[in-house]
Chain A
């Protein structure tokens, strides 16, 4: 093997290693929503091995996903080569992954932001899309705490105003 080819191979190996260990869920889905790639994040949080999910439909593996809703979200990605974003405010999660921080985690499940991104094949068509799942539990919890603090504050303000009115 030439040095160059060896280098390419090493780089490819690193690349795969990074995809495997990055703290973001990576899934490749084809037009039938069958799973082609399932990285380490997905494996750890779902407990399903890549070999268990490969070629299987996302909807059969995860019945909690509303099929027609998800197909609607993915349609512009396949047809327009457009990215689609789903934020936790819309749906707290796409795939229900349990809380994995037994001590400091306060929620029962992982809040998720989802990005669907087109993967353009050599023919210029989109036959597969990449789904990225971000863990935004801490953000969601922070916002919820902030909101409840705001509600408490405005309630207190109202009480003070009420008292002043009566006095």
Chain B
């Protein structure tokens, strides 16, 4: 459940603020009498949202904001204070507070702010501990079916390329849009990697495969694929596509056969080359919050080839997948 920490030295003020929280909002409310108590509570994970007074004994609101920044405590702060000087306003924002509300708090004003910052929608699901809460059993199953798919893919690759594939251990996680954004930003910033994305869809399941190849790998990929021509930009794209086709295809085939379904694959898109990655993600940001990510890092023995394959599956698809895989959960 989403947790809210109300920090004020006055009991009346604490009660008043608590009453102003939207009624239908299911939250765990905690209280702190001064800054020191607030910091202790935050460290214990009580307070994804902190409603903070400024003038308090022991440790005032400014000091709390500083401490939050220094200790990188994961919380969103809305300052509630009677101090209405513009300078106070600016100072708390500089110290990382989202908003400043004057006392006494009005429920409507607070609700508007909570909506503006999308705090109401979060329902606590964005809560880190909850996020990591991908059922260990389910995670195990996903990891296992990916392992099997990888085994098949590795065998395929070894046969067609005559190389030994170091099979990766799949990393299965639920990730947030922002995390994916960071990952993609990394591709965009570094000119040293290239990427391809490709959508796939089966009954009740849809997702995207992301293939990322480090540029230093191109020469060796060319060697493996028996290409003698010079590796220029055009050739790099060819190699990227060939490698992506084989890896994405074999992995999806392996997964599909275990799920007893068939995936359609869309046309691949080159990332970064023709589309700004940031734009690509920004547009979609509102449509999804979290996604299941299966990350695979490949290496080929004896070659300088590093590539990553990330399968992103929508949260809704997990239901279908869990149903299909329920036989693995039994006994």
Give the interface of A toward B (CB within 8 A): 72-73, 75-76, 79-87, 89-90, 113, 115, 134, 136, 143, 147
Contacts and interface: CB of A to CB of B under 8 A. Distances in A.
Contacts of A136: 267
Interface stretch (B8-16, B25-33, B237-245): B237-245
Nearest to A150: B276
B261 interface: no
B115 interface: no
Given A76-B246, A80-B246, A90-B237, A85 B253 contact: no
A115 B274 CA distance: 20
Contact residue range for chain B?
A: 20 to 34
Nearest to A144: B274
Given A87-B241, A143-B274, A147-B274, A80 B267 contact: no
Contacts of B249: 76, 80, 82-84
B225 A72 contact: yes
A87 B234 CA distance: 12
Contacts of A115: 265, 267
Contacts, number: 56
Contact of B265 (A72, A83, A147): A83
Q: Is the interface of A mostly helix, strand, loop or mixed?
A: mixed
Given A82-B245, A82-B250, A85-B268, 20 more contacts: A72-B226, A72-B242, A73-B242, A75-B160, A80-B156, A80-B159, A80-B246, A80-B249, A81-B253, A82-B249, A82-B253, A83-B245, A83-B249, A84-B249, A85-B198, A87-B267, A89-B270, A90-B234, A90-B241, A143-B274
Contacts of B40: none
Contact of A85 (B234, B267, B273): B267
Nearest to B240: A90
Nearest to B269: A87
Contacts of A80: 156, 159-160, 246, 249-250
Contact of B245 (A84, A134, A147): A84
A148 B195 CA distance: 22
A83 B247 CA distance: 10
> Looking at A73, A80, A143, which has the most chain B CB atoms within 10 Å of its CB?
A80
15 contacts: A72-B242, A76-B156, A76-B246, A79-B159, A81-B253, A82-B245, A83-B249, A85-B245, A85-B265, A85-B268, A87-B270, A89-B270, A89-B274, A90-B237, A115-B267
A85 B246 CA distance: 10
B274 A134 contact: no
B243 to A, nearest CB: 11
Interface in B286-324: none
A167 to B, nearest CB: 31
A155 B241 CA distance: 31
> Looking at A75, A83, A84, A85, which has the most chain B CB atoms within 10 Å of its CB?
A85
Contacts of B225: 72
B73 to A, nearest CB: 40
Interface in B196-249: 198, 225-226, 234, 237-238, 241-242, 245-246, 249
A73 B246 CA distance: 10
A86 B160 contact: no
B156 A90 contact: no
Contacts of B253: 81-82
B159 A87 contact: no
Given A72-B225, A76-B160, A134-B267, A89 B245 contact: no
